[in-house]
Amino acid sequence: MAQKILIDLEKLRSPNGTSCDESPPEGICEPSVGSNGLKSIRELAVFQFTCRKCSDAPCIEVCPADALEKDDQGVITRSTNLCISCKSCVVICPFGTMMTDFFEYHQNKENYYDLSNEKEMELWIRESPEGAVT
């Protein structure tokens, strides 16, 4: 029988009704502008005016999280929810337009879980706010 995990993102983002500005449980709701899923106007403008619209787009190819994609006009856009802040795109960009001083990269603490490992998945479920992961 297949196992399923149900995740309530609201509870996971804001445990026990606290905001990310308060002191949340370790590793659950890290204060991070870059991981809230919202793209900044500044980032959109920089991509629009500096992206060289490479036909092969090495930044997309190198991204391990598939967080980058081309829009209809060939401009790269970044999904802040998927971005893991590895900065591979910054390193590989042949024109230097992926600049860390324009994009808000987030970095969570050492609280990464290997969800393919059953013990780590159980630990993640246990340490998540009540009702966030079932």
Q: What is the CB neighbour count within 10 angstroms for residue 57? A: 20
* Residue 113 contacts residue 124 (beta carbons within 8 Å): yes
Total-model pTM: 0.49
Instruction: State in words which class domain 28-107 has.
Output: alpha beta
Q: Is 15 helix (H, G, I), strand (E, B) or coil?
A: helix
pLDDT at residue 88 tops 50: yes
* Digit-coded pLDDT (tens) for 89-106: 889 999 888 776 555 555
Q: Is 69 helix (H, G, I), strand (E, B) or coil?
A: strand
Cα distance between residue 88 and residue 84, in whole Å: 10
Which pLDDT score, from 0 to 100, does residue 24 have? Answer: 45
Domain spans, the chain: 28-107
